Amino acid sequence: MRTVVCDTPGSIRMEERAIPIPVPGDGEVLIRVRRIGIGGTGMHVFLGHELSSHVASAPPGCRLVAGDQVYVMPYLSCGVAA
């Protein structure tokens, strides 16, 4: 997986990492992030939180299917820490 690492403010680099593909739990959808953007608020904390994604897999009966384009609202949470 290609990752972007911020070692110190103003120093951002891309790095390849071997990270296993997550396994979605019951009722969860797995998405594949295609692009990440750094907007105005992200520039202050060096955090990319605008995500362009598509569904990699979805459970039976879900209204989403593999290949659907989706976006992520990073400010919403299920309230459970991973």
Selected residue with higher pLDDT from 47 and 4 = 4
Average pLDDT over residues 46-59: 82
pLDDT digits (tens, 9 = 90+) for 7-50: 877 777 889 999 898 899 998 999 998 887 766 665 555 566 67
pTM, whole model, 2 decimals? 0.69
Q: What residue spans define the domains of the chain?
A: 2-71
Please state, in angstroms and rounded to a whole number, the distance separating the CA atoms of residues 20 and 51.
20
pLDDT at position 62:
93
pLDDT at position 48:
63
Give the sheet arrangement for strand 50-57, strand by strand.
Answer: 30-37, 50-57, 69-71
**DSSP code, position 31:** E
- 């997986």: which residue's tokens? 1
pLDDT at position 82:
58
Distances (CA, A) of 42 to 13, 48, 58, 63: 16, 6, 30, 31
